[in-house]
A and B are shown apart, each in its own frame.
Chain A
Amino acid sequence: MPAIYALYVINKSGGLIFNKEFVTIASNSLNDTLRLASIWHSLHAIAVQLAPAPGCTGIELLRADTFDLHCFQTLTGTKFLVVAEPDTPDVEALLRETVYDLYADYVLKNPFYEVEMPIRCELFDQNLFNTIAAVHRRWGLVH
């Protein structure tokens, strides 16, 4: 069954500035997440350089047998990562449109949010949670 497990946001310099799990993931500690963020940031950058064809913008999707990891990097260098059930549809669009919109609205427009710093914005959390819950409901998944 398709499901969105978690969302991570990585800033330009590779620091994890947001992490939220929507479904409990087995033994996923904050340290692991921080490590994942910085490793992903580096791999993403290396991939751009290693790509045989010009115009590569980095890794967009990592497929494993138990999860898909989608990555969307904005033109400003911020990365949004989503861990989802394998073959979950429309994650690209969700990141590109909905999540990025929410970030622009509730994080960047919050005058007390400092850019590049960890995101602690209640409104972002709420709206994100509602969005994901709505997506899950559409798939018949109840929180």
Chain B
Amino acid sequence: METINAEIFTLTYGSMVRQLIADLEDISAVNKQLDEMGYNIGIRLIDEFLAKSKTGKCGDFRETVDRVAKVGFRMFLNTTAAVTNWNAEGTECSLILEDNPLTDFVELPEGCQNLVYCNVLCGVIRGALEQVSINTECSFVRDVLRGSDVSELRLKLLSLNKEEYPFKDDD
């Protein structure tokens, strides 16, 4: 695969976030926009992931999350995430980002403390999983940029659509 300097990516992302803040003038709108942009990336990225990783169907949600954390993050961000804190039903877990290239040079200024700088990642995961019939909710619960010791993404399974087609006998 062709590679480019990772800093190009990091810096491009940074200037994009800056531009969004300038355009939208409201931090929560920026967070929402980042998530939306991530979603649009995710619904396309999933096919790249499936095609290049030659991955097959996952047995359950745990396996899916594992692949996202180990294969997906490695493929697109050259890092991996640790999967922990499963709830008893196996529908909710945390992804701990060990190293996040997006935040390499970032310090959040005063007035931007509510900015979820990497919110795009939440959108990407949500969008990608939705394309394989897994509806999820994803959000940052801890963020190194906002003083936490690690970055933690909380991923919650909402529903699994077993069928790809809208089969309804009463239709």
Which residue in B48, B54, B165, B167 is a CB contact (below 8 Å) of A108? B48
Report if A49-B47 is in contact (Cβ < 8 Å); known contacts: A75-B57, A75-B132, A101-B52: no
Chain A residues in 8 Å Cβ range of B48: 104-105, 108-109
CB atoms of A76 and B167 under 8 A apart: no
Is B51 on the interface with A (CB-CB < 8 A)?
A: yes
Is A115 on the interface with B (CB-CB < 8 A)?
A: yes
Is A36 on the interface with B (CB-CB < 8 A)?
A: no
CB atoms of A78 and B47 under 8 A apart: yes
22 interchain pairs (CB within 8 A)? A12-B164, A45-B165, A45-B167, A49-B167, A74-B47, A74-B50, A75-B50, A76-B46, A76-B132, A77-B131, A77-B164, A78-B47, A97-B54, A100-B47, A100-B50, A100-B51, A101-B51, A105-B48, A108-B47, A108-B48, A109-B44, A115-B44
CA A74 – CA B57 in complex, angstroms?
Answer: 10
Report if A108-B44 is in contact (Cβ < 8 Å); known contacts: A74-B50, A76-B50, A101-B51: yes
CB proximity to A under 8 Å, residues B30-70: 43-48, 50-52, 54, 57
CA A75 – CA B131 in complex, angstroms?
Answer: 8
CB proximity to B under 8 Å, residues A17-70: 45, 49
Query: B40 — nearest CB in chain A belongs to which residue?
Result: A115
CB atoms of B131 and A76 under 8 A apart: yes
Q: Chain B: residues with CB nearer than 8 A to chain A?
A: 43-48, 50-52, 54, 57, 131-132, 164-165, 167
Whole-angstrom distance from the CB of B21 to the nearest CB of chain A?
22
Chain B residues in 8 Å Cβ range of A103: 47, 51
CA A81 – CA B50 in complex, angstroms?
Answer: 18
Whole-angstrom distance from the CB of B164 to the nearest CB of chain A?
5
- A sample of 18 more A-B contacts (CB under 8 A), given A78-B47, A101-B52, A104-B47, is A45-B165, A74-B47, A74-B50, A75-B50, A76-B47, A76-B50, A77-B131, A97-B51, A100-B51, A101-B51, A103-B51, A104-B48, A104-B51, A105-B48, A108-B45, A108-B47, A109-B48, A115-B43
Query: B130 — nearest CB in chain A belongs to which residue?
Result: A76
Q: Chain A: residues with CB nearer than 8 A to chain B?
A: 12, 45, 49, 74-78, 97, 100-101, 103-105, 108-109, 115
Chain A residues in 8 Å Cβ range of B47: 74, 76, 78, 100, 103-104, 108
Chain A residues in 8 Å Cβ range of B45: 108
Query: B165 — nearest CB in chain A belongs to which residue?
Result: A45
Whole-angstrom distance from the CB of A72 to the nearest CB of chain B?
11
Chain B residues in 8 Å Cβ range of A97: 51, 54
Whole-angstrom distance from the CB of A43 to the nearest CB of chain B?
12
Chain B residues in 8 Å Cβ range of A108: 44-45, 47-48
Chain B residues in 8 Å Cβ range of A76: 46-47, 50, 131-132
CA A108 – CA B47 in complex, angstroms?
Answer: 8
Of the candidates A49, A76, A78, A108, the one having the most CB atoms from chain B within 10 angstroms of its own CB is: A76
Query: B166 — nearest CB in chain A belongs to which residue?
Result: A13
